[in-house]
Amino acid sequence: MSLFQSVFLGLIQGLTEFLPVSSSAHLVIVQHFLPGFKEPGLLYDILLHIGTTSAACIYFRKELKGIICSLLKFDDKSEEMLNYRKLAYMVFLGSIPTAIIGLAFKNAFESMFGSPVDAAWQLLITAALLWMADRAPSARQHIKEMTWGKAVIIGTAQGIAIVPGISRSGSTIAAGIFCKLDRDLSARYSFLLLIPAVFGATILEARHLVDMTQSSGNPASLLAGVLTAFVIGYYTIDILLRATRQKRLSYFAYYCAAFGLISLAVLLF
């Protein structure tokens, strides 16, 4: 994999990881059309996710600090600490179905990364979810009103979104909106739910690091891709937060539908 290819894929990852257009589908489809591209494997995609997830950790450093402090100062019963403690509990509960689905269907999901046609079809599902979420009535349920059942539903949506073409951010935000959560909370919870999921997947795939480095042939190219994903990803977070609050997710729905249909036309005909 050349330096240009790695940076280009990092750019795609940074632009599409947080925007609800499925970064995995873009990586699968774009990799298919890159001339002379040698598939680096699932671990490379995970490392790109580490780049964007690190950007999310920095962007949401206030929330992460509040969660950590609320767990360390468990005797602090202030409203702020109680809300952060509740948020930590919801992230933990939401991570359980994601982990179960990821582990139970790991091999099946990995095989899907080799099918750009399937990824293009799944983009149409993402488009439908975003379109419906934008038209769902807005609700004002904040972290105090969030229940364990809603956390499980959103976590299940994240687990299913491992399938290339099903946007992780799109499906989790849509699930939150369908569960009548405040739109801003739905988006922020989606980002926080991503962090343990990516780091968990990284731990599982770490054993392949040596093999992947050898197959890529150029660790510098790999690093360049990850750094690109980090920088671009950081600046796309605010775009999604504003789009969710202002009910503009349908813009991304139209994009997913167009990209999916065009990809299908090229791949099939």
Cα 145 to the chain's mean position, in Å?
24
**C-beta of residue 20 within 8 angstroms of C-beta of residue 236:** no
Provide the 10 A C-beta neighbour count for residue 108. 10
User: Which pLDDT value is given to residue 245?
Assistant: 92
What is 204-258 written as a DSSP string?
HHGGGHHHHHHHH--HHHHHHHHHHHHHHHHHHHHHHHHHHHTT-HHHHHHHHHH
Which domain, by its residues, includes 222?
3-268
User: Which pLDDT value is given to residue 138?
Assistant: 85
| pLDDT tens profile 213-242 | 445 557 787 888 889 999 999 999 999 999
Q: How many domains does the chain have?
A: 1
User: Which pLDDT value is given to residue 58?
Assistant: 95
Q: Which residue stretches of the chain are H helix?
A: 3-16, 23-33, 42-59, 61-72, 79-104, 106-112, 116-135, 148-160, 168-178, 183-205, 209-216, 219-245, 249-268
Interacting residues of 108 by C-beta distance below 8 A, sequence separation 6+? none
Environment class of residue 92 by beta-carbon count within 10 Å: exposed (0-12), middle (13-18) or buried (19+)? middle
User: Which pLDDT value is given to residue 49?
Assistant: 78
| pLDDT tens profile 163-199 | 989 999 999 999 999 999 999 999 999 999 998 988 8
The low-confidence residues of the chain, meaning pLDDT below 50, are: 213-214
pTM of the model: 0.88
Q: Is 182 helix (H, G, I), strand (E, B) or coil?
A: coil
What sign results for the dihedral spanned by CA atoms 108, 133, 229, 50?
negative
User: Which pLDDT value is given to residue 92?
Assistant: 96
User: Which pLDDT value is given to residue 100?
Assistant: 94
- Residue in this structure with the two tokens 């093999």, named with its chain if needed: 211
User: Which pLDDT value is given to residue 33?
Assistant: 77
User: Which pLDDT value is given to residue 41?
Assistant: 56
**C-beta of residue 161 within 8 angstroms of C-beta of residue 167:** yes
**C-beta of residue 78 within 8 angstroms of C-beta of residue 40:** no
